[in-house]
Amino acid sequence: MSDFWSGYVAVIVLINIVANAWLLAAMRKGQSDSLSEGEELGHDFDGITELNNPLPRWWLWVFAASIAASVVYLALYPGFGNFRGLLGWSSVNQWEAEVRKAEAIYGPIFAAYAEKPIPALLGDKRAVAMGGRLFANNCSPCHGSDARGGPGFPNLTDNDWLYGGTPEIIETTIINGRAGTMPPMGPTVGGEEGIAQAANYVLSLSGRPHDASLAAKGEDLFKKICFACHGLDGKGNPAIGSANLTDNTWLHGGTLEIISETIRHGRSSRMPPHKDLVSPEKVHLLALYVYSLSRVE
């Protein structure tokens, strides 16, 4: 906060405290000095007559105590502009202290699990449940609470993996993230005619309804252009994260229109790295949970 806004906040706070103290002092006596205590003020409503009486003593003392408490609070804690308070408290400090306390309690538990290979932990329901809670906190916004993903976000409960589904690769993916890009291929395949041919050939690879005559022409395009990433058999390449086009798993959708759009304009997907968000020990349990999802019988 700049010095100007710090001073502005401090002045507003000070004015409020002084104004409340003055109002409280003014209410120690009756509302009118020209009338004796208990005399009528001439205000009547619905049978109720207002009298020239001060506020009850106990009420005044409660308000006085609240004003004093506010002064003490502002001396100890932040609230008076940039003044940090005599205790030096901040929400960040409190959060860090709570994290240190939690790490002292749970750190050894995570460390013990980190020493065991993921396949050996599959039968440990407690470890899998801990990984599930980590998933809910860190991964569910993209992959969904059931880990089934959505358009552009992989389903983690099947056995279709762009980069591979071994425990080691899953851990690497969580730690470093992934950046997948398919360049726009519209001009490369010859415009809209070539897009239609290539899209129908892609549909044919997974046995989906397609135009056979267009697919026959699209095969030549695929084997000249697309094989470099997806392979001659269309089964993709985990080393670069290119999709397997022969199954019925589609990250962005498998209709003719969506496939044509993908060829025309390309796709760009990114999973951010979590190495700065989740400790290596927790990544191990996260990977365990993800690994377990596709192995439910």
Give alpha helix (H) positions in 139-190. 140-143, 167-176
Q: What number is the average pLDDT over the span 31-43?
A: 70
Q: How high is the pLDDT of residue 255? A: 95
Distance in angstroms (rounded) separating the CA atoms of residues 168 and 157: 17
Paired residues of 44 in beta bridges: 49
Paired residues of 51 in beta bridges: 40
CB 109 within 8 A of CB 126: no
Q: Kindly report the pTM of this predicted structure.
A: 0.73
Q: How high is the pLDDT of residue 1? A: 77
**pLDDT for 30 beyond 90:** no
Q: How high is the pLDDT of residue 39? A: 77
Q: How high is the pLDDT of residue 115? A: 95
- Please report where in the chains the tokens 């030549």 appear, as a residue: 220
Distance in angstroms (rounded) separating the CA atoms of residues 262 and 52: 81
Q: How high is the pLDDT of residue 33? A: 64
Chain length of the chain: 297
Q: Which residue has the higher pLDDT, 33 or 61?
A: 61
User: What average pLDDT is seen over the chain?
Assistant: 92
CB 19 within 8 A of CB 26: no
Return the percentage of the chain with pLDDT > 90, whole number: 81
Three-class HEC string of 74-99: HHHCCCECCECCCCCCCHHHHHHHHH
- Please report where in the chains the tokens 């349990």 appear, as a residue: 285
Q: How high is the pLDDT of residue 29? A: 66
Q: How high is the pLDDT of residue 59? A: 87
Q: Which domains does the chain have, with CATH numbers?
A: 3-76 (no CATH), 101-177+273-293 (1.10.760.10), 180-271 (1.10.760.10)
Instruction: Quick: pLDDT tens for 96-107.
Output: 999 999 999 999
Q: How high is the pLDDT of residue 297? A: 47
- Please report where in the chains the tokens 């020493």 appear, as a residue: 115
Cα 145 from chain centroid (whole Å): 12
Q: Please name the helix (run of DSSP H) or strand (run of DSSP E) that holds residue 44, with its range, or none.
A: strand 40-45
Q: What number is the average pLDDT over the span 153-172?
A: 94
CA dihedral 167, 173, 176, 182 (to 10 degrees): 150
Q: What number is the average pLDDT over the span 186-207?
A: 96
Establish how many alpha carbons lie within 13 A of residue 209's alpha carbon, considering only the half-sphere containing its beta carbon: 3
**pLDDT for 135 beyond 50:** yes
